[in-house]
Structure 1
Amino acid sequence: MVNKVQLGKSELFVNPIGLGANAVGGHNLYPNLDEEIGKDLVRTSIDNGMNFIDTAFSYGPERSEELIAEVLKESGKRHDVIIGTKIAQKFVDGQTVIDNSPAFLRSEVEKSLKRLQTDYIDLLYIHYPDEATPKDEAIGTLKQLKDEGKIRAIGVSNFSTEQLKEANKDGYVDVVQGEYNLLSRSAESTYFPYTVENNISFIPYFPLASGLLTGKYTTKSTFNDFRTRLPYFQEEVFAKNLAKVEQVRNIAHQKGVDVSHVVLAWYLNQEAVTAIIPGAKNPEQVLNNLKTLDVQLSNDDILAIDTLFKA
């Protein structure tokens, strides 16, 4: 039986291992996605107790939400699943524009509800901050939607610490999603002190650094997608990062698990991190991610990994 964790001050309780669903219909992010495999990712997740699915308008765009809705409808398990989705983008003359205005947020929530074939969204994030809208005004709109029963919890993603503080002026923010992994640790000094103090859950994205922290890559690996733009995949640091991963492999080997299990378990030992949402490209990876819950790290393990990736 999985011990579920509470998201911030909300009434939502989730398996601490969720599904990052950007490969479910995220045709704009990954080439040659198979939608049936994407639906199988969702089926495998909910059939195995993974009740937390993270998606967004921008995955597809729109298609990820639609595919998740199809699976939940066929399964009859909508009320057993916590859906987190994100809005903020619109397309103007072929360009992506970020909008946090109250009217836009209300309109996009209605569209998301239709795509998800549901009458409520469990966790609604503002995906990116815009430059014009006061953040407490934007969150105030989400609080109204929460009071109306259309959303159950409020989140922000990609907000700076100062923007987060403005957004949470009235204490309405339940969850912050931001980049955090062993290769990108600035959140420890920027977000974590504030989120812990204010009972806001922090959920990392890119927890496995787009696969680099899984131990499956070598110095001969090549990439033809968005990973080519990520700093930890650049040639001068890629080999150094792989060498660190190999040291984690030693710990994983001693425990009879994979590198990714150790890495994900390390995050769950950080006070600020409530849950993690690793992605998956096939159902086997979903099941593999769940094995993280069986990993027990000693204080020495936690310190060794911390020291290794601070070097």
Structure 2
Amino acid sequence: MEYTRLTQTDMEIPKIGLGTWAIGGWMWGGTDEQAAIDTIHAALDRGITLIDTAPVYGFGNSEEIVGKALAQYGRREHVTLATKVGLAWQDGRVTRDSSPSRIRQEIEDSLRRLGTDYIDIYQVHWPDGSVPFEETAATLEALRIEGKIRAIGVSNYSPAQMAAFAQAAPLATNQPPYNLFEREIEGDVADYCIEHGVGMIAYGALCRGLLSGRMQADTQFTGDDLRLSDPKFQAPRYVHYLEAVRQLDEYAQTHHGRRVIHLALRWLIDQPGVATALWGARRPDQLEPVEAVMGWSLSDEDRAAIDGILQTCIPDPVGPEFMAPPENAPLA
């Protein structure tokens, strides 16, 4: 495993972290708790010592599973535990709430579910325009001073929102959606993070499995699976993205003796400003490709070839906007 240091902290984190949205079950067709715990243990054994979760992942289920896994594994001080705050839910309906009272409630709930007395990176899950960003930031800074969190982060924030937030608290990380197929942050969010030393924790690294190389034209998604509402998995785009994956896989094999999953992760973790990329896994065997992501790099010629494949295969690209929860009315 390769590691990097978060600029504004004393934390050394792996270039690949474990994302646990799918482990929570909600929008991923349920969960197998023992398989999830085994996956977390397998990740830690591989040096994937950053675990990212959130209360809304399974409405507390993901945090509880992570807490059980860490209690069994031990060595809490060697794990960088990241979770989030600022989403409320009722009857499956998710709303944004970054008010001080909500944050104070959530930190206690998360600490209890995770079975720990501190969280390493505490991130505001989505910007809430109905609460001043400085007010949200000041509440998190108070938690940091109290020792309940070690570093403050945000997720899905724009440069202007990060700038307002940073007026009241030191901002260590931003977690944006970022992968070979979803590159909307380039030119604004990424530039801000690079300029201000905010480490990016990239989520959606494999684009909901598209870049794993395992999906076929006849792959079926059922129940509450997130991909049923993802435009990339609908006709006619799905065929376009699958063709891009096929050509990327062929390129990876021919030029590097690897597969598209390795190419996609190597491209991502080498992007400027990216501190770590989150690898979502639900079973230990899904972590097996990690080793082949390490220890090599892409050339400028590789990057140009990759961009050429994307431009040729995907005439109507679409981003991850469909995942955003409803926005609150902005402050007057």
- Give the equivalent residue in structure 1 for 2:144: 146
Tell me if structure 1 keeps the 8 A contact 2:140–2:169. no
4+ residue segments displaced more than 6 Å: none
CA distance, structure 2, for counterparts of residue 94 and residue 69 of structure 1: 23
CA distance, structure 2, for counterparts of residue 93 and residue 246 of structure 1: 40
Give the deviation of 1:285 after TM superposition. Answer: 1.1
Tell me if structure 2 keeps the 8 A contact 1:23–1:38. no
User: Residues 231-310 of structure 1: matches in 2 within 5 Å?
Assistant: 231-254=231-254, 255-310=256-311
Tell me if structure 1 keeps the 8 A contact 2:4–2:15. yes
Is the alpha carbon distance of 1:53 and 1:143 closer, same or farther for their aligned partners in structure 2, counting shifts above 3 Å? same
Is the alpha carbon distance of 1:290 and 1:19 closer, same or farther for their aligned partners in structure 2, counting shifts above 3 Å? farther
Q: Equivalent residue of 2:298, what SS?
A: coil
Equivalent residue in structure 2 for 1:36, among 34, 37, 41:
34
Tell me if structure 1 keeps the 8 A contact 2:52–2:83. yes
Per-residue CA distance 1:6-47 (angstroms, 9 max, x = gap):
2241222111011111122x1222224211001111010111
Give the deviation of 1:310 after TM superposition. Answer: 4.5
Per-residue CA distance 1:85-142 (angstroms, 9 max, x = gap):
0121223576433211112212211111111111110010111122311112111111
Q: Equivalent residue of 1:5, what SS?
A: strand
Q: Equivalent residue of 1:184, what SS?
A: coil
- Give the equivalent residue in structure 1 for 2:319: none
Tell me if structure 2 keeps the 8 A contact 1:183–1:232. no
CA distance, structure 2, for counterparts of residue 170 and residue 32 of structure 1: 39
User: Residues 1-311 of structure 1: matches in 2 within 5 Å?
Assistant: 2-24=1-23, 26-92=24-90, 95-170=93-168, 172-224=170-222, 225-254=225-254, 255-310=256-311
Amino acid at match of 1:7: L
Tell me if structure 1 keeps the 8 A contact 2:26–2:57. yes
Per-residue CA distance 1:57-93 (angstroms, 9 max, x = gap):
0111111111111111112121110011012122357
Give the deviation of 1:296 after TM superposition. Answer: 2.8
Tell me if structure 1 keeps the 8 A contact 2:118–2:148. yes
CA distance, structure 1, for counterparts of residue 5 and residue 307 of structure 2: 25
Is the alpha carbon distance of 1:171 and 1:112 closer, same or farther for their aligned partners in structure 2, counting shifts above 3 Å? closer
| TM-score, reference length from structure 1 | 0.94
CA distance, structure 1, for counterparts of residue 174 and residue 31 of structure 2: 28
CA distance, structure 1, for counterparts of residue 291 and residue 60 of structure 2: 27
User: Percent of aligned pairs with the same residue?
Assistant: 35
Amino acid at match of 1:10: T
Give the deviation of 1:212 after TM superposition. Answer: 0.7
CA distance, structure 1, for counterparts of residue 120 and residue 107 of structure 2: 12
CA distance, structure 1, for counterparts of residue 203 and residue 177 of structure 2: 5
Q: Equivalent residue of 2:16, what SS?
A: coil
Is the alpha carbon distance of 1:53 and 1:290 closer, same or farther for their aligned partners in structure 2, counting shifts above 3 Å? farther
Q: Equivalent residue of 1:262, what SS?
A: helix
Report how many aligned residue pairs link the two structures.
Answer: 309
Tell me if structure 2 keeps the 8 A contact 1:201–1:274. yes
CA distance, structure 1, for counterparts of residue 127 and residue 274 of structure 2: 22
Q: Equivalent residue of 2:277, what SS?
A: coil
Q: Equivalent residue of 1:146, what SS?
A: helix
Tell me if structure 2 keeps the 8 A contact 1:8–1:175. no
Per-residue CA distance 1:242-261 (angstroms, 9 max, x = gap):
11112211232132222111
Is the alpha carbon distance of 1:93 and 1:75 closer, same or farther for their aligned partners in structure 2, counting shifts above 3 Å? closer
Is the alpha carbon distance of 1:170 and 1:94 closer, same or farther for their aligned partners in structure 2, counting shifts above 3 Å? closer
Which piece of structure 1 moves more, 59-68 or 291-300? 291-300
Q: Equivalent residue of 1:43, what SS?
A: helix
Amino acid at match of 2:18: L
Is the alpha carbon distance of 1:93 and 1:272 closer, same or farther for their aligned partners in structure 2, counting shifts above 3 Å? same
The unaligned stretches of length 5 or more in structure 2 are 313-332
CA distance, structure 1, for counterparts of residue 226 and residue 280 of structure 2: 15
CA distance, structure 1, for counterparts of residue 171 and residue 299 of structure 2: 33
Q: Equivalent residue of 1:147, what SS?
A: helix
Give the deviation of 1:170 after TM superposition. Answer: 4.4
CA distance, structure 2, for counterparts of residue 91 and residue 250 of structure 1: 43
